[in-house]
Chains A and B, each alone.
Chain A
């Protein structure tokens, strides 16, 4: 469905008049949930994920006229999303003047009373463990584990070799395993 919509989005983009707005509306309809969930699983906190998701689509709107279709629309949007997540994490860390480990602990701690979290203890443990991962490992783990993207696709999105991504994922798994055993 997404691929069909991509063709339609591109067709609308090329058509004059209100084509670009229609294209953007279709793009939103097609990708808003996927983008939001990638962000949410990486940042975990709903309010943060919402801010970043909104920012992603504002950027997509701005950049859409220059989209030439050289890469898949999904890859292009995910690349913007990943950049926006990284920007957010850097900004957040600068704002609170905390080392990464402390910031992660805060995220993990916020799960305890998060009204937007309905999981059981095992799930809570998994998300706490994810929150303790370094940025890149967290992103790679989220895309690979939850979105089940092939390494080839992740490589196109984050601009890293497949080998490095496999290593990142492996390290992420080991850290989660260690976290779960410790808890």
Chain B
């Protein structure tokens, strides 16, 4: 059975099937615009691809940066605590901590050149340099600063 002739009478008598009537149509000039639309779609895909790559790169960089900070560069908790010399807090301080703090204060004062408490008369810190401060001088200093002997004793434990 010749299917084409039976069910497609519009083809009967057609010697070359290539010239079959085509009832399907496109809009006018469809194929003229076709190529440019393909190029537009390619450009659109490229932009989308580039934007996707940039987003992924930025995300990867952010994750890497965070991971670096978290696992490698994150600052460890500082062991140094600010020493506050008061009757409430002094009991938490060790003797050496207290001494360190006093020394720090002294160095600051020394730099300012105004505190001559531990110096002989007419002597300046700049004259003596960083000499070791005797314990009795520290005790004396604390007494002047209003820290009680009880607190000093507790701090030394």
Contact = CB atoms under 8 A, between A and B. Distances in A.
Q: Do A and B come from one complex?
A: yes
A14 B71 CA distance: 50
Given A148-B17, A148-B18, A46 B38 contact: no
Q: Which bracket fits the contact residues of B?
A: 20 to 34
A123 B42 contact: no
A123 B10 contact: yes
Interface string B17-43: 110111111110011001101100110
Given A58-B41, A126-B8, A116 B31 contact: no
A145 B4 contact: yes
Identify whether the interface residues of B are mostly helix, strand, loop, or mixed.
helix
B24 A32 contact: no
A2 B64 CA distance: 52
Interface in A1-39: 25, 28-29, 32-33, 36-37
Given A116-B26, A126-B7, A126-B8, A58 B34 contact: no
Q: Which bracket fits the contact residues of A?
A: 35 or more
Identify whether the interface residues of A are mostly helix, strand, loop, or mixed.
helix
Given A58-B41, A124-B23, A180 B34 contact: no
A118 B25 contact: yes
A117 interface: yes
B42 A61 contact: yes
Nearest to A123: B23
A173 B1 CA distance: 11
A177 B7 contact: yes
A32 B38 CA distance: 10
B7 A33 contact: no
Interface of B: 3-4, 7-10, 17-18, 20-27, 30-31, 34-35, 37-38, 41-42, 45
